[in-house]
Amino acid sequence: IPSSTGAAKAVGKVLPAVNGKLTGMAFRVPTPDVSVVDLTCRLEKPAKYDEIVAAIKEAAAGPMKGVLDWTDEEVVSTDFVSCKSSSIFDVGAGISLSDTFVKLVSWYDNEWGYSNRLVDLAIYMSSKDA
């Protein structure tokens, strides 16, 4: 069922460089708590899909470890229930229409992933001086 979402607007508030450049919609599906992002974008600099995949894998193994993950398996929404990552990039679901126009797909458990980010925040805050 097509629906509206505030996610694109929220991204613009967090990342001012993309404010006003994103729009989004949601599809309500009969799953308890897993959602998917279908991002279609025009790239400023040309990039092959394999290069994009490699960059995502590198980020998932490095600075975004635990927040970003990826899969190259054939998956369905219920495969991501209780997944701790905030975004699991689906390598096989994306497509490159050209070197500057791509579609990327990413799954997330909007309850469990969010809860894990709150735990990360609490741990970070507790490590800081009052």
pLDDT tens across 112-122, in order? 988 999 999 99
Separation between Cα atoms, residue 93 and residue 105, nearest integer Å: 6
Tens digits of per-residue pLDDT, 20-68? Answer: 777 777 777 677 788 888 888 899 999 999 999 999 999 999 999 999 9
Name the architecture of domain 40-126.
2-Layer Sandwich (3.30)
Q: Please, where in the chain does CATH 3.30.360.10 lie?
A: 40-126
> The dihedral of CA 68, 80, 17, 45: what is its sign?
positive
Separation between Cα atoms, residue 19 and residue 12, nearest integer Å: 4
Separation between Cα atoms, residue 95 and residue 115, nearest integer Å: 30
Higher pLDDT, 3 or 60: 60
Q: Looking at residues 10-23, what average pLDDT do you find?
A: 81
| Structure-token pair, residue 99 | 């070197």
